[in-house]
């Protein structure tokens, strides 16, 4: 992935990550993720455009504000991607959120239909942050922090339903009504991050997925982990939809919390907000910059027990 500059505006930082981050499911014969080389080309071609946008992001900000429910992570992510598709020009956007009807009933929607040098491509998008309960390869082991979804159900929906719209008569009719050819290719733009259990092998990953770059731990485990951290490091809470890009600053972030005061802050936070998993970025000073070194979820002590007891259907 292209080295990341310290962006001035968080929305541009997030757009950079939308374009440059790898898919969290590796491309293979039965996993139609967009290939890493494609993301490399996209990022390289967008560099100058992104730098200009960082100087004046008003158009991007207005685009996001105009999107319904843009404070929801998935819709915020989709708004960022749609801005690039509409304004950068590498691909020609044919349709975004094109609904498919069976009579009066909506049975789905094409996320994006684009025209590329390889023909028309149907792209389904998602951004997910899954915690490995045991750090096993089974897709059911990788769950959302709120225990409301899991990788297995998401992949089943994307692969067997969303990407198959153009194989249905209703899906083909929706394309014909817009004079859009049936797609030559169907691809997943599926990004985010996996979080492995504290002290698990750094290379653990779900089947066909990339390695888990993040960590999850309990409050007690955090106390042990913090002894290995730079004493000058700061912790910054990530609040949805601000989960996408890495935090890099050219000066000390005012919202940062030192390790010395972190546990007191967490106890107060959980007293006020309830004991739910929270995402944090660990920032350390490096060559005059503050760079994100680690992303983690801090979970309540009973989270693992609840996760193991969860029944998925």
| Per-residue pLDDT tens over the stretch 237-281 | 999 999 999 998 888 888 899 988 888 888 888 888 788 999 999
Tell me if the bond preceding 241 is cis, omega within 30° of 0.
Answer: yes
Note the pLDDT tens digit of each residue in 168-215: 999 999 999 999 999 999 999 999 999 999 989 989 999 999 999 999
Asked if 162 and 111 count as a contact pair (C-beta separation under 8 A), the reply is yes
**At what angle are helices 10-20 and 73-87 packed, to 10 degrees?**
80
Cα–Cα dist 264/266, whole Å? 5
Dig out the tokens for 281 from the structure: 């970025």
* Residues of the chain predicted below pLDDT 50: 1-2
Task: Write the CB contacts of 245 (distance below 8 Å, at least 6 apart in sequence).
Answer: 4, 7, 10, 13, 14, 16, 17
Can you tell me the distance from the alpha carbon of 12 to that of 6, in angstroms, rounded to the nearest whole number? 10
Report phi then psi at 161, rounded to 5.
-120, -60
Quote the tokens at residue 215: 């960590």
Is there a contact between 43 and 19 (Cβ–Cβ < 8 Å)?
yes
pLDDT for 68: 81
CB 165 within 8 A of CB 172: no
Count the residues in the chain: 313
């Amino acid at each position: 992935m292209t080295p990341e500059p310290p962006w001035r505006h968080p929305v541009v930082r997030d757009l950079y990550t939308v374009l440059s981050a790898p898919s969290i499911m590796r491309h293979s014969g039965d996993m139609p993720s967009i290939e890493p080389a494609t993301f490399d080309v996209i990022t390289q071609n967008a560099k100058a455009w992104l730098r200009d946008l960082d100087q004046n992001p008003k158009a991007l900000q207005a685009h996001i504000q105009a999107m319904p429910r843009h404070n929801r992570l998935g819709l915020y992510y989709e708004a960022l991607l749609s801005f690039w598709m509409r304004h950068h020009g590498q691909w020609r956007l044919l349709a975004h959120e094109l609904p498919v009807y069976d009579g009066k009933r909506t049975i789905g929607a094409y996320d994006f239909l684009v025209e590329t040098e390889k023909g028309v491509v149907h792209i389904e998008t998602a951004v997910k942050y899954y915690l490995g309960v045991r750090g096993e390869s089974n897709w059911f082991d990788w769950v959302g922090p709120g225990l409301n979804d899991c990788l297995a159900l998401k992949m089943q929906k994307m692969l067997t339903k969303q990407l198959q719209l153009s194989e249905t008569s209703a899906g083909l009719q929706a394309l014909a009504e817009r004079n859009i050819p049936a797609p030559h290719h169907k691809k997943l733009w599926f990004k985010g991050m996996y979080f492995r259990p504290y002290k698990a092998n750094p290379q653990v990953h779900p089947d066909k997925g990339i390695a888990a770059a993040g960590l999850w731990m309990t409050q007690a485990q955090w106390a042990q982990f913090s002894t290995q951290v730079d004493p000058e490091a700061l912790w910054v809470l990530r609040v949805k939809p601000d989960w996408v890009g890495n935090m890099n600053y050219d000066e000390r972030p005012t919202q940062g919390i030192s390790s010395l005061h972190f546990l007191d802050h967490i106890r107060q936070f959980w007293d006020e907000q309830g004991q739910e998993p929270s995402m944090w970025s660990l920032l350390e000073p490096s060559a005059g910059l503050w760079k994100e070194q680690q992303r983690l979820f801090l979970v309540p002590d009973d989270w693992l027990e609840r996760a193991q007891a969860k029944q998925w259907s």
